[in-house]
Structure 1
Amino acid sequence: MYTWQQGVWQQLQDSFQLHRFHHAQLFIGLAGVGKFDLANQLASTLLCERPEGFEPCNTCKTCGLLAAGTHPDRLLINAEANSIGVDAIRSLSDFVHHSALQGGNKVVIIKDAEKMTHSAANALLKTLEEPNLNRYILLTCNDKSQLPATVLSRCGQQAVAVIDGSHAQAWLAEQHIPLHDFAWGPQFYSQPLKLVQWHQEGLLEKIETLYLFASNLKASHNFAEVQKILTEHAQLVSVFYVFINQQLKFSLQHGLAFSAYNDAQKAMHRFMLDTQQILGLNQSLGLAKLIYTLQNAIK
């Protein structure tokens, strides 16, 4: 468990010991805050034969099965093709209604629950409305606004966030992530696992290039390099958006006309929408048009 999750974990432990623990727990937070790891730890505790306090013992047969990824009473539901379909949720319903093969609890984890289709969410609702004894459903979600209110109302909701950036900073230092080299690093202390992922994928220097480009739009000329980075690493478009938006706000505070700021924001919004639909050369042209608009806005 990560240091910034200890408060949430204590709340879960207290509610469990006071017999107020909800059979469906929804963990909400930014990508990269460790929601799935938290849900996985909770599943291990609920399935352990001899939990120590509110932690799995890591020595019983059940813990051995969990470590091997073969526990028959734990079900993980992931998005396929960027969505969770109704068939997956129907399999969940069958799973919770059958007897536990290990004679204890049964636990389902739904990762990225906001990716459920409308039919899938409706199917889940029926299971949530009729909870079975010793059956637990753990959901993670990046954006709860994408979940139906009916599902939200039937879950115990836990916000998972980095409240104190120093906790994330200390943990990242232990992971030997060289963030001291990058001025933009602290902006992502709220998503420490994402920083680790970028480091492992060798993206930190590429993000630095995006940051430097966005920070000096008027003089930036390495458009081809930026375009190459965003084409090869589409997940960095949202990071580029953060940097551009930051620069626009800075420019607004230092004399940029609001009309120019508004035009630039509209151009950014159009570009973000387009990147979800167009590929290859069209994306390059879209980026070129965006940069031209931005550079003219702040000249």
Structure 2
Amino acid sequence: MMYVWHEPVWQQLVQSQRQQRFHHAQLLHGLAGVGKQALAIELAQALLCEHHQQLVRCGECKSCTLFEANTHPDLLMITSQGQSISVDAIRELASFVHHSAQQGGNKVAVIVNAHKMTHSAANALLKTLEEPNVGRYLLLTCDDISQLSATILSRCAKVQVAVGDKRLASEWLVAQLPQEISYPWLADFSQQPLIVQQWYLNEQLAHIDTLYKFACDIKASHNFASAQKILSDYPDLVNILCLFIQKQLKAKLINGLALQAYNEAQNALYQFMSDNTQVLGLNQPLALSKLVNTLKSTFK
């Protein structure tokens, strides 16, 4: 499935194939929530189609039928198990690409969130990237290419996936949400529409709005208990709270907050983010309280 904002990227891929410049390893990178995995799957189906023309699948051949049924033997999907992609998964990929295609055509492997590969897994992948076989394609997705090694980057065609036309994405998102849903912070995520859609499906929009209100009036901290419970129930929303706080800090800097006070607040925020990511068994209420107290003293 492709989204309306994918069209420019797709045309770029089509042109590279038409000009016989289509690389065997495609790295689709960009912000979370832009549909990189969906684009990779669409590309995989086109490459596996027996009759595709300029990456347009026919939808009727045996290969397309197998793909739609999620039983295509020449497609390998690799995703993280827990927080990482193991070296064993990449070794399986190496074996996969070196065996003959059961359908007699191409073989495609998709690595979702390639930045989650362990160091050993990344090293194992290099061997496969260095020795490409005809008719074998690797499609990688990545939120942050700075987390991939320079050697892997140099062996892939890097394709940035982004929302170029915010209007198209906004119109698409409006069609996904009930009309009564309207939050002032939605515009902050106009370049990540699928994240907002997932929040809606997970019934998290009200929680995020609570975090937004907490960040906007952190000096009063009326919603401290509610914010803490939300972060406890949904740890992945810590970064969203930090984003809202950071936006408030920038606004206060523009409105006259002293640079030293701004830097102190930023350091406290970075420490809070780091602790939530790295400290096992973190006393989160205490960590949040410490951050709030630092910000309150900053905003005097």
SS, match of residue 181 in structure 1: coil
Aligned twin of 1:231: 232
Percentage of pairs with the same residue? 55
Aligned twin of 1:149: 150
Q: 1:96 to 1:179 in 2, by over 3 A?
A: farther
Aligned twin of 1:95: 96
Deviation at 1:219, TM superposition (A): 2.6
Aligned twin of 1:63: 64
Aligned twin of 1:284: 285
Deviation at 1:120, TM superposition (A): 1.1
Unaligned stretches of 5+ in structure 1?
A: none
Aligned twin of 2:110: 109
Aligned twin of 2:252: 251
The residue type paired with residue 29 of structure 1 is: G
- Residue deviations 1:74-131 (CA, integer Å, cap 9, x gap): 0011111211111111111110010000000000000000111111111111111111
Equivalent residues in 2 for 1:16-165, closer than 5 Å: 16-165=17-166
- TM normalised by structure 1 equals 0.97
The residue type paired with residue 36 of structure 1 is: Q
Deviation at 1:142, TM superposition (A): 0.5
The residue type paired with residue 103 of structure 2 is: Q
The residue type paired with residue 204 of structure 2 is: L
In structure 1, C-alpha distance between the alignment counterparts of 2:218 and 2:118, rounded to whole Å = 40
In structure 2, C-alpha distance between the alignment counterparts of 1:233 and 1:81, rounded to whole Å = 16
In structure 2, C-alpha distance between the alignment counterparts of 1:61 and 1:188, rounded to whole Å = 40
The residue type paired with residue 285 of structure 1 is: L
Q: 1:88 to 1:242 in 2, by over 3 A?
A: same
Q: 1:280 to 1:204 in 2, by over 3 A?
A: farther
Aligned twin of 1:3: 4
| Kept in 2: contact 1:48–1:56 (CA 8 A) | yes
- Residue deviations 1:139-160 (CA, integer Å, cap 9, x gap): 0000101111001001000000
In structure 2, C-alpha distance between the alignment counterparts of 1:97 and 1:278, rounded to whole Å = 42
In structure 1, C-alpha distance between the alignment counterparts of 2:238 and 2:150, rounded to whole Å = 30
Q: 1:242 to 1:109 in 2, by over 3 A?
A: same
- Residue deviations 1:183-211 (CA, integer Å, cap 9, x gap): 00011011111000000011111111111
In structure 2, C-alpha distance between the alignment counterparts of 1:149 and 1:90, rounded to whole Å = 21
- Residue deviations 1:172-192 (CA, integer Å, cap 9, x gap): 122135586100001101111
In structure 1, C-alpha distance between the alignment counterparts of 2:102 and 2:268, rounded to whole Å = 56
| Kept in 1: contact 2:177–2:197 (CA 8 A) | no
Q: 1:280 to 1:88 in 2, by over 3 A?
A: closer
The residue type paired with residue 196 of structure 2 is: L
The residue type paired with residue 187 of structure 1 is: D
| Kept in 2: contact 1:177–1:199 (CA 8 A) | no
In structure 1, C-alpha distance between the alignment counterparts of 2:290 and 2:53, rounded to whole Å = 59
Deviation at 1:167, TM superposition (A): 1.2
What is the count of residue pairs matched by the alignment? 299
**Could you tell which deviates more after superposition, 251-260 or 283-292?**
251-260
The residue type paired with residue 265 of structure 1 is: Q
In structure 1, C-alpha distance between the alignment counterparts of 2:27 and 2:17, rounded to whole Å = 15
Aligned twin of 2:192: 191
In structure 2, C-alpha distance between the alignment counterparts of 1:102 and 1:57, rounded to whole Å = 16
Deviation at 1:218, TM superposition (A): 2.2
- TM normalised by structure 2 equals 0.96
SS, match of residue 110 in structure 2: strand
- Residue deviations 1:204-238 (CA, integer Å, cap 9, x gap): 11111111111122233221011111111111111
The residue type paired with residue 184 of structure 2 is: A
In structure 1, C-alpha distance between the alignment counterparts of 2:82 and 2:282, rounded to whole Å = 24
- Residue deviations 1:11-62 (CA, integer Å, cap 9, x gap): 1001111111000000010111100000000000000112254222222111
In structure 2, C-alpha distance between the alignment counterparts of 1:37 and 1:29, rounded to whole Å = 13
The residue type paired with residue 58 of structure 1 is: G
| Kept in 2: contact 1:177–1:196 (CA 8 A) | no
